[in-house]
Amino acid sequence: MIDSAKWYVVHTYSGYENKVKTNLEKIIENRGLEELILKVEVPLEEAIEKKDDVEKVVTRKIFPGYVLIKMIMTDETWYIIRNTTGVTGFVGPGSKPVALTEEEVAALGVDIKEITVDYQVGDSVKITSGPFANQIGIVDEIDLTTGKVKVNVVLFGRKTVLELDYTQAETM
């Protein structure tokens, strides 16, 4: 059921983002809705502000006036969120909420998926898809934050490093 949860964007009164997040988290806990409303996020970023020749790192909202919610949309969850103090409505045409696409969620970086690979640096792997499918190579580097793997292969008699998605290689 959790797989059917999607990210939605809720518009709030300016400056109420954290209050909405706190209120929703209390409501979710009090009503036992943890399985329907999974996450409430106010995306933040760190930025350097310069004032009077003094630089300081500040945390600010990426989308002022908006809160992101990962939930399973039902009449009950829609009603609860829509009637939370500070919420002015869901983003979407009329009163119909529109879920974010997988690409939008990935670009926002709010839903980080745990990446696990069954190979290590130095292991022989077979490339499973793409233009170099069925080539054999040696894992040179693994970056779990981006999900990329660098593999050394021999193409046309030369050693070449390919950067692949971690799903494009498997152990031999």
pLDDT in tens, 102-121: 888 877 766 656 667 888 89
Give CA 105 to chain center in angstroms.
Answer: 5
Tell me what percent of the residues of the chain surpass a pLDDT of 90: 53
What's the pLDDT at 46? 82
133 φ/ψ angles, rounded to the nearest 5 degrees: -55, 145
pLDDT winner (highest mean) among 58-62, 83-87, 144-148: 83-87
Average the pLDDT over each of 49-53, 105-109, 127-131, 149-153 and give the range with the smallest value: 105-109
Q: Residues 61, 14: contact at Cβ < 8 Å? A: no
What is the model's pTM? 0.62
